[in-house]
Amino acid sequence: MRLFESDEYKTSPDTKRALGDRLALGSGAYFYGRFIQIIIHSRRQVARGNYDRAAFIQSGLDTMRAIEACNGRFHITGFDHLRNNPAPVVFISNHMSALENNVFP
């Protein structure tokens, strides 16, 4: 499964902030509400036995999009190293919180 065609991903400068985040005055309420929805949806998939690799990746993408909708920005590089290396790899990031754990899939 290839999600990104190029060797890096950078949030588009044209990415619009979600109306819900603007209405909540950037308080985090919109993001946390959306994040809880993602967790509940994923938990339901697990309970039904449907939380496979694709669902794991999708929940990571949904979390990433929720962050971007609240004016968060991503700059991820090095996809070429993953594609060209058949061995296991270790991810290194500028760790700011536990939130990265939900985006890494």
Where are the chain's structural domains?
Answer: 8-103
Nearest Cα to 72, choosing from 11, 8, 9, 30? 11
pLDDT at 82: 84
Residue 95 pLDDT class (50, 70, 90 cuts): low
Look up the pTM and report it. 0.84
What does DSSP assign to residue 1? Answer: -
Rounded to an integer, what distance in angstroms lies between the CA atom of residue 87 and that of residue 43?
Answer: 31
Whole-number CA gyration radius for the chain: 15
pLDDT at 44: 98
Question: Coil, strand, or helix at residue 4?
Answer: coil
